[in-house]
């Protein structure tokens, strides 16, 4: 459905970039539906604690994308620096897993469509958009099957086109947007395998 909506908006000759891990499989299917090229962008949230909401994200070698509403006090600066370092290390590690460190397919002068699974917090797709711009993309479109209203508003406020068939009002997003995905590990493994096929 996402691929059909993108094609209907005239996004042909573009490249779809699946944001790791959730966006990879969706981008692959949407690209197939459109007959478009597909690749993977590696990104990771920045969190101050496993149970806390992300305060930003990191994608590839682009600078961190932070929540402008997050104003850390002096007591948090050290923790924040450690969280950013941890996310950078995660991206480095995932680059090996997902792309065996090969570069992304050329984005020079092209429309790059950043695809994620469900966007509850916009920082990963915004960081990925920044990375794609740094790689020479002419136009950025953000696409997802499901997004929360606040995330959709943030993305549009940044002047990016958003293609999203379902916007949910619940702050925490949809509990199971794709049915029951089961455990995390097989999902990640599958998205890694799909990423390798993209090469």
pTM: 0.90
Express each pLDDT in 112-133 by its tens digit.
999 999 999 999 999 999 999 9
Coil/strand/helix, residue 147 = strand
Q: How many residues does the chain have?
A: 199
Tokens of 82: 């450690």
Q: Measured between alpha carbons, how far is 60 from 11 in angstroms, rounded to an integer?
A: 24
Q: Is the model's pLDDT at 16 over the cut of 70?
A: yes
Burial class (CB in 10 A: 0-12, 13-18, 19+), 72: middle
Coil/strand/helix, residue 124 = helix
Confidence band (pLDDT; 50, 70, 90) for 197?
confident
* Beta strands at 146-148 and 118-119: parallel, antiparallel or unpaired: parallel
CATH number of the structural domain 2-198: 3.40.50.2020
Cβ atoms < 10 Å from Cβ of 132: 26
Tokens of 84: 């950013």
pLDDT of residue 91: 96
Q: Which residue ranges make up each domain of the chain? A: 2-198
Express each pLDDT in 79-96 by its tens digit.
999 999 999 999 999 999
Express each pLDDT in 160-179 by its tens digit.
999 999 998 876 666 555 54
Residue in 3, 15, 196 with CA at minimum distance from that of residue 107: 15
Cβ atoms < 10 Å from Cβ of 152: 18
pLDDT of residue 59: 97
Rounded to an integer, the average pLDDT of 88-116 is 94
pLDDT of residue 123: 97
Rounded to an integer, the average pLDDT of 91-107 is 93
Q: Output the average pLDDT for the chain.
A: 89
Q: Is the model's pLDDT at 143 over the cut of 90?
A: yes
């Amino acid at each position: 459905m996402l691929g059909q909506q993108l094609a209907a908006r005239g996004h042909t000759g573009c490249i779809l970039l699946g944001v790791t891990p959730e966006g990879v499989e969706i981008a692959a299917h949407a690209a197939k539906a459109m007959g478009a090229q597909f690749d993977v962008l590696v990104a990771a949230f920045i969190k101050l604690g496993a149970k806390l909401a992300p305060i930003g994200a990191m994608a590839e070698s682009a600078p961190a994308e932070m929540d402008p509403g997050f104003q850390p006090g002096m007591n948090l600066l050290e923790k924040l620096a450690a969280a950013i370092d941890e996310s950078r290390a995660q991206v480095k590690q995932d680059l090996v897993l997902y792309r065996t460190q090969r570069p992304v397919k050329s984005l020079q002068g092209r429309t790059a469509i950043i695809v994620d699974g469900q966007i509850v917090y916009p920082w990963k797709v915004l960081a990925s958009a920044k990375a794609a711009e740094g790689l020479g993309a002419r136009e950025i479109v953000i696409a997802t099957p499901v997004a929360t209203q606040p995330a959709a508003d943030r993305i549009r406020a940044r002047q990016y086109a958003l293609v999203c068939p379902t916007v949910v009002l619940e702050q925490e997003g949809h509990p199971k947007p794709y049915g029951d995905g089961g455990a995390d590990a097989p999902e990640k493994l599958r998205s890694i395998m799909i990423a390798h096929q993209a090469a």
